Structure 1
Amino acid sequence: MKSTILKSGLLALTLISTITSCSKKYEGYTINGNIPGQKDGMIYLEFVGGDKNILKDSTKILDGHFTFSGKVEEPLRYSIKLKGQEYGRVFILSNETIAFAANKDSIFTAKLIGATQDSIYSGYYKNEFKKIQSIAEPVYKASDSISQNGKVKPTPEQKALMDKRWTDLQTLADNLTYKFIESHKDKIAGALVLDDRLVTYGTPEQVKKYYGILTPEIQKSYFGKKIKTAIDLNDKTAVGVLAPEFSQTDVNGKIVKLSDYKGKYVLVDFWASWCGPCRKENPNVLLAYKTYHDKGFNVLGVSLDDKKNLWEKAIEKDGLTWTHVSDLKGWKNEAAILYGVKLVPTNYLIGPDGKIVAKNLREEALQAKLKEIFSKS
């Protein structure tokens, strides 16, 4: 009798285990959408990653309602949009039930209920980032007022005052971002904010430090692996390492190689005609070139343009007399990808031995570094 009861109990446990494992195997997401005024039509679910969104699912809208269901292996960025629309509502999709409500003319502002991971991630921009912006706005206005939008050079006193305000702003931003990542180190949101705010705008040291805070599970996630790739790429273009070789054509179609500059100091300057901050920095690079070119300093401009005529007009208008190259692939410029360029302007000062001496030298920092180098020669 006891044997029969024991066997029955084991059978029951086995069945429960089987049912549980089956239910987990087929767990997934359900998105219940409501778009008042959109009686019918098609709506699309796309994976957001890389250079182009990837269509994952589509369904018909019936009397303003639609449903998507499926399963994701981990939380990832997806977008929902109507046929013919360029932009959709981007969000973090997890295996959960989500309510999606939107106006047909502004799908990208849709409200979500039940998207847990997306809610945590969005919280950073609604709170920490909003606070950073509120403090940054008057600092930017003060800077523009003092310089009259770049037309007037600030006095030493004004510069010292603004330098302190910029430093204080950066410290605040770093602290708020760090605290968010630390408190969400076991969430996708922690990795996403790190990728958004620091991989592009922070220092390599910050990225490494904050990546180390993330839990092993998050480090192994899609976004964690993406950050690790950026770290590895930064290591390949770190100060002290041999600069990766590349070659591209100049405005006349001649092939120019980085190694052509071996034995000299060269500033590899990634820029573009459409980049306002690049054009604003060009006079500073021009001053450095004029001051130190005769002493062995060169500039190699690498443009992220995709239209040759606009590239050439900018070179002529800004009076940039050094060599310029581009493959005219825009953000897909092969040299930019090789160096992990995420924004422009970005520059690398490379020494006579082909090793990277410094990165992202702008304004007075560029002049000071060159003065330090050439005052010894």
Structure 2
Amino acid sequence: MKNKVQYIGISLLAVFMTITSSAQMTFTAKIENRVGDTITIRGAQKFMKKIAVNKKGLFTETFEVTTGFYQFFDGSEYTQLYLKNEYDLLMTLNTKEFDESISYKGNGSLENNVLARKALDDEQFQLKYLSTDDEEVFAKAFEAKKASDAKLFSDVNLDENFRTVMTKRANQEYAMMQQMRESDLKSKEMVGKPSPTFTYENHKGGTSSLSDFKGKYVYIDVWATWCGPCLAEIPHLKKVEADYHDKNIVFLSISIDAKKDHEKWKNMVDQKQLGGVQLFADNDWNSKFVIEYGIQGIPRFILIDPNGNVLEADASRPSSPDLRKKLDALVK
């Protein structure tokens, strides 16, 4: 799913860890409609494990971990795992449904099913309520969401470290949701008005400004090299760019990486052969363009009309069929 859901928890990407054990855990998965021959598990302290997936979408791997939270990446989408030595975990997943299909059995399934349930609940809440203009409806749904999370974490059989961390993170997420809601309401007010402008470094040399593309529709991707969901959108963005390359639209990506990661940005653009116009913002999250759009989470997509006015301040992602419907109506 994840078509327009914001990436909550930029500051929550740090993985919470505890004590290392000398034991190992076993991780087994059955993946329907696999998207690649490997999956990747990432964690703190530069932990990264690539696991081969056979043609039937199966794998079993035994390895040592430090108790804590990890990211599972199938080549297209991410989900979070809670891993601990001595776990014997079985995951089932259908990539065509992803969050809706994730399920776990075995030792460690309790914590990981809570993670999967919460991810789906978060997504549905954001889609249904985060952008509503009705403050009463939002407030009621928000309180119900917090109560639902508390119930998820209340099971005394859950790992104590897991319960503690999840409760702390949930409280951080609630504050971020409030910020995102304020940003979303601000985005709605921007529609039809002149877009904030920019002049940023162009990967091909020199600088580019929004005004350079007047007379064309401009689809902007605000991203960063460290953002998993941003990277997951790249293959979809490449396909959309290819399909609309001869139309009256420019695809423009703005990296908000920190200045220290400037070379990392340049190298990633080259290595992944990123198309369109590739720009580097002048002051990461504090760049004027980012602030004026009230961007609190990435990836963020923006659609601007040929006159430089905002069509959508929070546009559909490249992976969403809604984007093509919108572009077809505009440029075909």
Which structure is higher in RCO with an 8 Å CA cutoff and minimum separation 6?
2
As a proportion of its length, which structure holds more strand? 2
Q: Given the two structures, how large is their TM-score scaled by the length of structure 2?
A: 0.49
Q: Given the two structures, how large is their TM-score scaled by the length of structure 1?
A: 0.44
Max Rg structure? 1
As a proportion of its length, which structure holds more helix? 1
